[in-house]
Amino acid sequence: MPSADRVFSALSDPTRRALLRTIADQPSATATTLAADLPISRQAVLKHLAALTEAGLIDRERAGREVRYRVTPQPLSDAVSWMADVGAQWDKRLAALKSQFDPRA
């Protein structure tokens, strides 16, 4: 699956978006601390963290017995760039349509 597809798929879930936001605010969070703020089990949090890791949005680092998570912004930046490119293409198309149908344009 291309990188942007994995990012958008991971971000389509509100729980994953909440986890990503929390990890951005609390670098080096653990699954246990993340689960404490959510109405889901630690095991469910781990599954969501795996999806975010697979999309490249977070990185994990073992510190003794704990695994700590931190945001890796590059995949999100790549997705934002892709959206900007698509938006620019639509702007060009819409401007061309407007000039065809609006004699003042």
pLDDT per position as a tens digit, 54-86: 999 999 999 899 999 999 988 887 878 888 878
| pTM, to two decimals | 0.77
> Which strand ranges, in their side-by-side order, compose the sheet holding 66-71?
29-30, 66-71, 58-63
Whole-angstrom Cα distance, residue 92 to residue 37? Answer: 44
Structural domains of the chain in order of their starting residue, each with its CATH number: 3-101 (1.10.10.10)
One-letter amino acid at 92 equals K
Task: Tell me how far CA of residue 81 lies from CA of 5, 49, 78, in angstroms.
Answer: 13, 24, 5
13-58: pLDDT as tens digits: 999 999 999 999 998 899 999 999 899 999 999 999 999 999 999 9
Among 25, 20, 24, residue whose Cα is nearest residue 7: 20
Q: From the centroid of its chain, how far is CA 25? A: 14
Helix axes 14-25, 3-11, angle to 10 degrees: 100
